[in-house]
């Protein structure tokens, strides 16, 4: 018996053939390449944020009307190339992390491509622009979830220098900024589609008009709330210090043993003390390049610098702790220390960088265990304390310093009350020192030669929350701090790993969104740059150059919140995710029902 083949014909719009010549393979690939370029140049080092608003258009045009398998490939290739070009700087540091991150983020986008194709095939009445906007926005949010979360190149971050557009983050967070960009790109895709069909009027109305409307609302709406920073009667005066220490010498044993690390930071502390009386001084991530609590000599040195300053310091270091069972825990840590005392509060980094700070399943697989030797393999922390700032009391006098004097031809050691800091004759030059480097050896202040009483601590000026390095890409962490009453945020980092690449600039601009989301100031201390502070409206102040020593003094402005985003958090991307899941499930049900009917019809014809 001859069996009749049953199929469901695709509409002209679904195939992309309705009145226009379909795109060829090379045309589609060319569009994808164009989209990759537009996406990457929207971020530093280029920073052409305008291209971010159209970066997805070539992909959406190229993948219109294709099968689910083809759509997956186009979306996957596009995102994989964006990742390779966008965070290329990761490859020399952690090649496994680079490859896995690039491929995993591309798989999320590939899933979006499949969803778009399936939903459009089964639900052709749902507008194409709406499906692609929901699918891309939902999967961008998914990239921020789970152990391998890496939302580094979320489109919203491309607008960090676009001061008007970035104000949307106070309403819906970084993913709200992304949603506006994605919607504009999706609507422009409809405009191009209508233009290809020579439907000029339909191209402009409504699709072009709606896209223009979103652009105007976002930018004019962002212009209105911009204000100048305001200050309390007694603002926190904070110092940010940048050591400018290259990564290839930071952990070198000979370099560390000379104490040059602490001289670099002491120089910057002295600059701050010459300018003001600080309440807080912020050191970068791992600035004390040791386990400070287990290194008495360097602990004494750091405490001396703190005693001399007369204020609390946030010091980046490492910590080793032991559980009741005798297990050792190794943490990437930051300690709030005060003059004349010890550690006031401590924080252990919670979100660790996969394959750089922690090796997944490292105890189970031999090949993974070998990677541990090249990684820090930290243990994550479990709590997010608020740090308290109290008034500083001003710089202490330099302690009496032993000097040699001549008496009857013999050298004797005595103490004098005041000794000018001078640069002595350099008699030591380590192999790590570049030729132009001039070591500076002033008398070294320590807790032993400058003991001071603790700060009174009766008055609390402000509270702040801390994000260490990689954690600044997680909106929920900054939100958790500000909801609990943080008056400002602090980011400490060591981007010297990535030298002169785009990473330090990309990473610094991510912090802009954390400030705007909750309308709080943010202070950023980086080992080799970029250090800066950001006001509650996202303006970047006192940016330092890379690989340089620097000191920044900040009169920390008042927070301008609370914001709508602090109330509902990431509700917008969560709604996008919920809607696209429902559409996908409904489309899948329709597809299965059609197949069931087809199989039943085939059986009937056989009989």
Give the CA-trace dihedral at 561, 566, 568, 573, to 10 degrees. Answer: 110
DSSP three-state, residue 444: coil
Tell me the two tokens of residue 468. Answer: 């260490």
The reported pLDDT for the residue numbered 355 is: 73
Compute CA distances 349 → 212, 217, 313, 333, 497, whole Å.
43, 39, 18, 6, 18
Which of the four pLDDT bands, split at 50, 70 and 90, describes residue 12?
very low
Q: Left if phi > 0, otherwise alpha if psi is -120 to 50, otherwise beta: which for 244?
A: left
The helix-helix angle for 571-606 and 174-196 (nearest 10°) equals 50
Give this prediction's pTM.
Answer: 0.89
DSSP character for 490?
E
Q: Which residue has the tokens 């195939």?
A: 15
Q: How far apart are CA 236 and CA 459, in angstroms?
A: 12
Residue 346 contacts residue 337 (beta carbons within 8 Å): no
Choice between 551 and 375, residue whose per-residue pLDDT is larger? 551
Give yes or no for residue 261 having a pLDDT over 60: yes
Confidence of residue 373 (pLDDT cuts 50, 70, 90): low
pLDDT score, position 96: 81
For residue 401, what are the β-bridge partners? Answer: 416
Q: Is 529 left (phi over 0), alpha (psi -120 to 50) or beta?
A: left
**Mean pLDDT, all residues of the chain:** 88
The values of phi and psi at residue 43, to 5°, are: -110, 160
CA 300 to chain centre: 33
Gap between the Cα atoms of 206 and 309, Å rounded: 63
The model's pLDDT over 276-287, given as tens digits with 9 standing for 90+, comes to 999 999 999 999
Question: What whole-number distance in Å separates Cα of residue 566 and Cα of residue 515?
Answer: 12
What are phi and psi for residue 416, nearest 5 degrees?
A: -120, 160
Q: What distance in Å separates the CA atoms of residue 246 and residue 259, rounded to the nearest whole number?
A: 15
Residue 268 has pLDDT above 60, yes or no: yes
When pLDDT is cut at 50, 70 and 90, the band that residue 324 belongs to is confident
Q: Which residues of 301-335 are buried (b: 16+ CB within 10 A; e: fewer)?
A: bbbbbbbbbbbbbbbbbbbeeeeeeeeeeebbbbb
Whose tokens are 């000794």? That residue is 419
- Supply the DSSP symbol for 65: T
Across 88-102, 261-275, 304-318, 488-502, least confident range: 88-102
- Determine the pLDDT at residue 3: 40
Taking 90 as the threshold, does the pLDDT of residue 415 lie above it? no
Cis peptide before 424 (omega within 30 of 0): no
Query: What is the pLDDT confidence band of residue 251, given thresholds at 50, 70 and 90?
Result: confident
- For the chain, the structural domain boundaries read 13-224+570-601, 237-393+446-563
Instruction: Please tell me the distance from the alpha carbon of residue 522 to that of residue 478, in angstroms, as a whole number.
Output: 10
Average the pLDDT over 232-256 and give the result.
88
Strands 280-282 and 312-322: parallel
Taking Cα atoms as reference points, which of 82, 178, 83, 172 lies closest to residue 136? Answer: 178
Structural class in CATH, domain 237-393+446-563: alpha beta
Those residues with Cβ within 8 angstroms of residue 82's Cβ, 6 or more apart along the chain or in another chain: 36, 39, 40, 153
* Mean pLDDT of all residues in 90-117: 91
């Amino acid at each position: 018996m001859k069996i009749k083949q049953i199929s469901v014909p695709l509409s002209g719009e679904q195939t992309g053939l309705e009145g226009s010549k379909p795109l060829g393979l090379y045309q589609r690939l060319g569009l994808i390449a164009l989209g990759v370029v537009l996406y990457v140049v929207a971020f530093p080092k280029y920073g052409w944020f305008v291209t971010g608003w159209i970066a997805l258009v070539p992909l959406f045009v190229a993948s219109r009307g294709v099968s689910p398998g083809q759509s997956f490939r186009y979306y996957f290739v596009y995102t994989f190339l964006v990742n390779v070009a966008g965070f290329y700087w990761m490859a020399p540091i952690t090649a496994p992390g680079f490859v896995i991150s690039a491929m995993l983020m591309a798989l999320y986008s590939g899933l979006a491509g499949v969803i778009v194709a399936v939903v459009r095939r089964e639900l052709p009445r749902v507008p194409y622009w709406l499906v692609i906007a929901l699918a891309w926005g939902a999967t961008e949010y998914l990239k921020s979830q789970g152990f391998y979360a890496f939302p580094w190149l979320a489109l919203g971050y491309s607008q960090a220098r676009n001061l008007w557009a970035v104000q949307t983050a106070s309403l819906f967070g970084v993913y709200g900024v992304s949603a506006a960009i994605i919607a504009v790109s999706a609507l422009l895709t409809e405009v191009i589609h209508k233009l290809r069909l020579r439907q000029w009027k339909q191209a402009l109305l409504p699709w072009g008009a709606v896209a223009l409307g979103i652009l105007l609302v976002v930018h004019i709406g962002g212009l209105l709330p911009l204000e100048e920073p305001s200050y309390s009667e007694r603002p926190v005066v904070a110092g940010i210090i940048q050591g400018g220490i290259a990564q290839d010498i930071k952990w070198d044993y000979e370099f560390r043993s000379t104490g040059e690390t602490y001289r670099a930071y002491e120089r910057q502390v002295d600059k701050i003390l010459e300018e003001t009386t600080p309440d807080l001084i912020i050191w970068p991530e791992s600035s004390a390049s040791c386990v400070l609590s287990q290194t008495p000599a360097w602990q004494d040195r750091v405490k001396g610098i703190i005693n001399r300053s007369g204020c609390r310091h946030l010091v980046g270091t490492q910590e080793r702790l032991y559980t009741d069972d005798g297990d050792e825990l190794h943490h990437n840590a930051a300690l709030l220390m005060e003059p004349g005392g010890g550690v006031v509060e401590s924080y252990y980094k919670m979100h660790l960088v996969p394959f750089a700070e922690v090796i997944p399943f490292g105890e189970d697989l031999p090949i993974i265990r070998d990677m541990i030797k090249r990684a820090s393999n930290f243990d994550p922390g479990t709590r997010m304390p608020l740090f308290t700032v109290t008034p500083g009391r001003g710089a202490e006098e330099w302690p009496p310093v032993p000097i040699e004097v001549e008496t009857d031809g013999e050298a004797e050691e005595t103490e004098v009350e005041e000794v000018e800091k001078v640069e002595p004759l350099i008699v030591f030059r380590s192999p790590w020192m570049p030729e132009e480097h001039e070591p500076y050896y002033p008398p070294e202040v320590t807790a032993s030669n400058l003991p001071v009483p603790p700060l009174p601590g009766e008055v609390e000026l402000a509270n702040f929350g801390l994000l260490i390095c990689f954690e600044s890409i997680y909106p929920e962490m900054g939100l958790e701090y500000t909801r609990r009453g943080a008056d400002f945020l602090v980011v400490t980092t060591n981007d010297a790993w990535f030298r002169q690449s785009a990473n330090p600039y990309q990473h610094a601009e991510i912090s802009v969104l954390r400030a705007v989301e909750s309308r709080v100031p943010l202070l950023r201390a980086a080992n080799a740059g970029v250090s800066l502070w950001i006001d509650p409206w996202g303006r970047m102040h006192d940016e330092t150059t890379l690989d340089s020593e620097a000191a920044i003094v900040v009169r920390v402005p008042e927070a301008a919140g609370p914001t709508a985003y602090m109330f509902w958090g990431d509700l917008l991307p969560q709604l996008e995710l919920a809607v696209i899941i429902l559409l996908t499930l409904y489309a899948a049900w329709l597809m299965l029902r059609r197949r069931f009917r087809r199989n039943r019809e085939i059986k009937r014809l056989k009989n």
